[in-house]
Amino acid sequence: MTSDGSAERLSPALRTEALEQLLTERGLVDPDAMDRLITRYETNVGPLNGAKVVARAWTDPAYRRRLLDDGTAAIAELGFGGPQGECIVVVENTATTHNVVVCTLCSCYPWPVLGLPPSWYKDPAYRARIVREPRTVLSEMGLELPGDVQIIVRDSTSEVRWLVLPERPAGTEGLTEEQLVPLVTRDAMVGVAKVEAP
């Protein structure tokens, strides 16, 4: 307790650890199962998968066409799919069109290729404001777009989840698919950032 009698605020990590310990002590959670789940989302599901999809599309024109025609099937070609990835539509950012993704109702998100949604994606302010004033919100997040670039806000739902194929940065033409993967960020695949050249 603090001097005013209120409980001290614990960090989210400490609260999570305390909750896990309590659930384990009561036999409600198997720690091994929890570790497997965490490992899955750290290594098998997440933004690295999406980065591999993007890098393949940047280096393989035939794959890029398949990805834009049927995102779910093209993503499955690379072995990514499952819950929250049953129907993924991929849209491409260009010099004249910029796509950004939101889920206005909750936080629908393509987990197999982006992992767990970041806290800002679930924030009610982001969900409301990105629809009303996308250019302002993107600017506040550090992405300045020219006034002549059309911004399209894509609303994910439980039926359709969106993935942005970001523009390939200039100066990366000589890089291999493997060299491109580390450049691609989760935020670029949501549309709140651009991919920066190395």
Which tens digit of pLDDT belongs to each residue from 127-176?
Answer: 999 999 999 999 999 999 999 999 999 999 999 999 999 999 999 999 99
| Residue 114 tokens, joined | 């982006």
Q: What is the pLDDT, as a whole number, of residue 15?
A: 80
What positions carry a catalytic annotation?
103, 106-108
Amino acid at site 97: T
| Residue 50 tokens, joined | 């999406």
Q: Is 108 annotated as a binding residue?
A: yes
Q: What is the mean pLDDT of the chain?
A: 90
pLDDT tens-digit readout, 10-29: 677 778 778 878 888 888 88
pLDDT tens-digit readout, 31-86: 888 777 766 665 666 899 999 999 999 999 999 999 999 999 999 999 999 888 89
Q: Is 3 annotated as a binding residue?
A: no
Q: What is the pLDDT, as a whole number, of residue 40?
A: 65
Residue 1 has pLDDT above 60, yes or no: no
pLDDT tens-digit readout, 179-196: 999 999 999 999 999 999
Can you spell out the DSSP letters for the chain? --TTSPPPPPPHHHHHHHHHHHHHHTTSS-HHHHHHHHHIIIIISSHHHHHHHHHHHHH-HHHHHHHHH-HHHHHHHTT--STT-SSEEEEE--SSEEEEEE-SSS----HHHH-SPPHHHH-HHHHHHHHH-HHHHHHHTT----TTSEEEEEE--SS-EEEEEPPPPTT-TT--HHHHGGG--HHHHHTSS-PPP-
Q: Are 55 and 177 contacting, i.e. CB atoms less than 8 angstroms apart?
A: yes
Residues 6+ apart with CB under 8 A from 116: 41, 46, 109
pTM assigned to the model:
0.80
